[in-house]
């Protein structure tokens, strides 16, 4: 990147920050001087992330917490606040996904994704607000499914549409406190769990999903992190309530191609 960001002394909390895109965001902050706390459900993921982030030599904390449980989310903020002080950057990125036709989803199958993606984001926002520093940057990780209907993704489309609107409403309500709230909508990102679940069997080097992206390739986790750096910097001081795609130019085409790959999966015996 030919732009330098410096987050020395800033305090960053990333929910779901122990793998994939969210871990890359956590690492980008850690590499630029921030104290970074990550939280997710599995102790093994938390420990591995803490070890990886610690390489940068800045303070790191890891917490086992499930965003579906607001109390466990609140405990993370309380621990960070008492150890480091108020939070300058808050990222909410925990999510769950699988391909399933709406008619095959049980009540609990629909609910589990809404609980993690949407209710979990609300919990992170609701429990986090009182611990935010003046001028804090809040970033929710959404998905293009919030805007684009996709087969086998009724649960995700519904949940992420809620995340987009929650982002916009909180930008209205929190603007008066100087807090900016934005969302990033990644396109297909190479090497991630999210993409693997959506397009199993896709060849990242040449198949239709890749060719469907106007820029001709999948994105990288670092490219999503770059946008998070911008949104948390003074260069974005007047950006709030924005849902920003980072998708190589065309989520609609990419999702249609991925949907096609999913169609084959969904018709295969399970």
Residues that bind ligand NAP (CB under 6 A): 16, 18-22, 40-42, 45, 66-68, 93-96, 116, 120, 141, 143, 186, 188-189, 192-195
- Interacting partner of 186 out of ligand COA, ligand NAP, none (Cβ under 5 to 8 A depending on kind): ligand NAP
- Interacting partner of 16 out of ligand COA, ligand NAP, none (Cβ under 5 to 8 A depending on kind): ligand NAP
State in angstroms the smallest separation of the CB of 16 from ligand NAP: 3
- Interacting partner of 40 out of ligand COA, ligand NAP, none (Cβ under 5 to 8 A depending on kind): ligand NAP
Show the tokens assigned to 248: 């190589």
Q: How far apart are CA 248 and CA 188, in angstroms?
A: 9
- Rg over alpha carbons for the chain, rounded to the nearest Å, is 18
Nearer to ligand COA, 92 or 97 (CB): 97
216 alpha carbon, distance to own chain's centre = 23
State in angstroms the smallest separation of the CB of 170 from ligand COA: 22
Show the tokens assigned to 154: 């009724």
* Cα separations in angstroms, 135 against 52, 87, 97, 181, 197: 28, 10, 33, 10, 36
Show the tokens assigned to 235: 């260069």
Binding residue (CB under 6 A) for ligand COA from 59, 109, 204, 250: 109
Q: How far apart are CA 87 and CA 90, in angstroms?
A: 7
Under rule CB under 6 A, residue 100 binds ligand COA? yes
State in angstroms the smallest separation of the CB of 166 from ligand COA: 17
State in angstroms the smallest separation of the CB of 84 from ligand COA: 28
Give the ranges where 175-212 is alpha helix by DSSP (H). 193-198, 208-211
Show the tokens assigned to 151: 């087969």
């Amino acid at each position: 990147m030919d732009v330098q960001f410096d987050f020395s002394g800033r305090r960053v909390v990333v929910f779901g920050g122990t793998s994939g895109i969210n871990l890359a965001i956590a690492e980008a902050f850690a590499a630029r001087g921030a104290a970074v706390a990550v939280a997710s459900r599995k102790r093994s993921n938390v420990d591995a992330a803490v070890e990886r982030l610690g390489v940068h030599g800045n303070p790191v904390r890891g917490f086992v917490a499930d965003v579906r449980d607001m109390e466990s989310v609140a405990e993370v903020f309380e621990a960070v606040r008492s150890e480091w002080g108020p939070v300058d950057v808050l990222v909410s990125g925990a999510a769950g996904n699988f391909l399933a036709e709406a008619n095959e989803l049980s009540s609990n199958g629909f609910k589990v994704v809404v609980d993690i993606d949407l209710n979990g984001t609300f919990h992170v926002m609701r429990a986090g607000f009182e611990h935010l520093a003046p001028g804090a940057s809040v970033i929710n990780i959404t998905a293009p499914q919030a805007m684009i209907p996709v087969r086998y993704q009724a649960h995700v489309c519904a949940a992420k549409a809620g995340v987009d609107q929650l982002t916009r409403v909180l930008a209205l309500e929190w603007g008066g406190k100087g807090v900016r709230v934005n969302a990033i909508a990644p396109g297909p990102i190479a090497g991630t769990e999210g993409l693997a679940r959506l397009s199993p069997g896709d060849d990242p080097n040449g198949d239709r999903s890749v060719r469907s992206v106007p820029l001709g390739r999948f994105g990288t986790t670092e490219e999503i992190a770059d946008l998070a750096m911008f949104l948390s910097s003074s260069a974005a001081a007047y950006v709030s309530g924005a849902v920003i795609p980072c998708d190589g130019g065309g989520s609609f085409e990419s999702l249609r191609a991925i949907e096609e790959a999913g169609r084959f999966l969904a018709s295969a015996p399970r």
